[in-house]
Amino acid sequence: MKANTITALRDRKNEVAMSHLREVSDSMRRHGLNAEVFQSSAEAVEELLSMIPSGASVGFGGSVTLLESGVLDALRSRNDITLLDRDAPDLSSEEIAHVMRQSMNCDFYLSSANALTMDGRIVNIDGRGNRVSACIFGPSKVIYVIGYNKVCRNLDEAIGRIRTIASPANCRRLGIDSPCSKLGRCPEKNVPTPNCICISTVIIDGSRDSQRVTAFLVNENLGY
């Protein structure tokens, strides 16, 4: 009986999550953003790879989601594309910056989101700004991979999520000595410092080009 109850609760949780993701995807489509819902990362990665043709140039923003989902490993295994790999070993800081600039003009740019609202708005906060810049303009196509854990009820909750969860975790991951890496949240008087990664806040409400942006919404916890 206990096992059956646990299974039933798990199934119900899955149904609720998928329902939320479908609601978000419907909202995004109304804003000119293509959106697809997937039960697993494996399904999303398979579909994503099918969208990128041989000969394409592919760039990506810094993202734990792209790593955890298997997207980056799958791209690195392809020898028929030009992968602008900012994380390639032994790159100097100048070379990394060069790859980031190259990515501004690639065929496909991949990113995740720090948060995603139920009404379909994609929210990201950057330190350097290369990721949000490319998502706004430059690359021919943008593909987001976003886990269910990023979904928030509204914009206020989305910004709060970033400042209390995503940014502190990313600072610790990157070894950045920022106030939030110590406090676990942005300080009340949030004055940007050289070590702050919360410099540029960008909200994608929609797209004028209905073919440019696609979001893969995955029913998994991915990234921060």
pLDDT in tens, 19-67: 999 999 999 999 999 999 999 999 999 999 999 999 999 999 999 999 9
Residue 10: CB atoms within 10 A of its CB come to 10
Q: Residue 49 maps to which CATH number?
A: 3.40.50.10420
pLDDT range class, residue 95, cuts 50, 70, 90: very high
pLDDT range class, residue 191, cuts 50, 70, 90: low
Q: Identify whether 101 is part of a domain.
A: yes
pLDDT range class, residue 7, cuts 50, 70, 90: confident
Q: Identify whether 224 is part of a domain.
A: no
Q: Identify whether 112 is part of a domain.
A: yes
CB 55 within 8 A of CB 108: no
Q: Does the pLDDT of residue 194 top 90, yes or no? A: no
- Residue 101 sits in which domain range? 2-218
Q: Identify whether 25 is part of a domain.
A: yes
Q: Identify whether 54 is part of a domain.
A: yes
| pTM > 0.95: yes or no | no
pLDDT of residue 150: 99
Q: Does the pLDDT of residue 14 top 90, yes or no? A: yes
Domains contained in the chain, number: 1
Query: Measured between alpha carbons, how far is 120 from 25 in angstroms, rounded to an integer?
Result: 7
pLDDT range class, residue 181, cuts 50, 70, 90: confident
Dihedral over alpha carbons 168, 21, 32, 111 (to 10 degrees): 40
pLDDT of residue 4: 76
Q: Identify whether 19 is part of a domain.
A: yes
Q: Identify whether 22 is part of a domain.
A: yes
pLDDT of residue 47: 99
CA-closest candidate to residue 221, choices 112, 122, 127: 112
pLDDT average, residue stretch 121-128 = 96
pLDDT of residue 9: 79
Structure tokens belonging to residue 127: 């330190």
Q: Does the pLDDT of residue 114 top 90, yes or no? A: yes
pLDDT of residue 189: 64
Q: What letter would DSSP give residue 176?
A: -
Q: Identify whether 197 is part of a domain.
A: yes
